[in-house]
C-alpha cells in the first residue's frame, strides 16, 4: 500500500501544480474573457441552442437524435449530482493559495467537472448523428475542459474524470440506441 499512497500523493501534487500554473493565464485579460465566455456557453446554453438549431433544420429527422441528446443530458446530470454529493471535493480556489476564481462556480464542489462531462457526452452523441459538426464541437469541448482549470474551478483530474464519465454515458447510450 505504501506504493499506492506514494502514487496518489504524486498525482495530487501534479494536479495542484498544473491547476496553479493554468490559473496564472487569467492575468491575460483576453484569455480571461474568452474562458469566461466558453464556460458560460458550456453551462448548457451552447448545447440547448445546438439542439434547437438541429430541430429547426429538420424537425422530423432530428427529433429522435435530439431526444437521445436530452436523455444523455439527464443521465449525465444525475451521475454528476450523485458524485458531487459523494466526494465533496473543494474547488481549487478554495484549497490552493495560488489559485484565484476566474468565474462564479455553479455549485460548491469540484469533482467531477460537469461542464466537461456534458460537453464530451453531447459531442459524442451529436457526432454519431452529424459527424460534419466535428470541426465545431471538438474544439468547443476542448476549450470548455481547459477553461474549467484555467478559471480555478476544477483540478485537471476533475476534468479528466468528467470526460471519462461523459464518454462512458454517451458510448453506452449509443450502444443501446
CATH number for the domain that contains residue 61: 1.20.144.10
User: What pLDDT, on a 0 to 100 scale, did the predictor assign at position 4?
Assistant: 61
> Which residue(s) pair with 90 in the sheet?
109
Owner of C-alpha cell 491575460: 28
Q: What's the structural domain count of the chain? A: 1
Owner of C-alpha cell 483540478: 155
Structural domain boundaries enclosing 139: 2-176
Contact 73, 118 (CB under 8 A): yes
User: What pLDDT, on a 0 to 100 scale, did the predictor assign at position 1?
Assistant: 60
3-state secondary structure 74-124: HHHHHHHHHHHHHHCCECHHHHCCCCCCCCCCCCCECCCCHHHHHHHHHHH
Q: Per-10-residue mean pLDDT for the chain, 177 residues long?
A: 71 88 89 95 95 96 96 95 89 91 89 96 98 98 96 95 97 92
User: What pLDDT, on a 0 to 100 scale, did the predictor assign at position 13?
Assistant: 86
Amino acid at each position: 500500500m505504501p506504493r499506492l499512497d506514494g502514487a496518489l500523493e504524486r498525482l495530487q501534487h501534479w494536479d495542484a501544480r498544473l491547476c496553479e500554473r493554468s490559473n496564472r493565464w487569467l492575468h491575460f485579460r483576453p484569455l480571461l474573457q474568452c474562458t469566461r465566455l466558453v464556460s458560460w456557453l458550456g453551462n448548457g446554453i451552447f448545447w440547448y441552442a445546438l439542439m434547437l438549431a438541429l430541430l429547426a433544420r429538420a424537425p422530423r429527422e432530428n427529433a429522435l437524435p435530439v431526444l437521445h441528446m436530452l436523455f444523455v443530458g439527464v443521465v449525465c446530470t444525475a451521475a454528476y449530482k450523485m458524485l458531487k454529493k459523494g466526494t465533496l471535493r473543494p474547488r481549487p480556489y478554495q484549497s490552493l493559495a495560488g489559485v484565484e476564481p476566474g468565474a462564479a462556480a455553479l455549485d460548491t464542489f469540484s469533482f467531477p467537472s460537469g461542464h466537461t462531462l456534458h460537453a464530451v457526452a453531447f459531442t459524442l452523441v451529436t457526432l454519431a448523428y452529424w459527424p460534419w459538426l466535428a470541426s465545431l464541437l471538438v474544439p468547443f469541448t476542448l476549450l470548455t475542459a481547459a477553461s474549467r482549470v484555467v478559471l480555478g474551478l476544477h483540478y485537471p483530474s476533475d476534468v479528466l474524470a468528467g470526460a471519462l464519465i461523459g464518454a462512458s454515458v454517451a458510448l453506452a447510450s449509443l450502444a443501446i440506441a
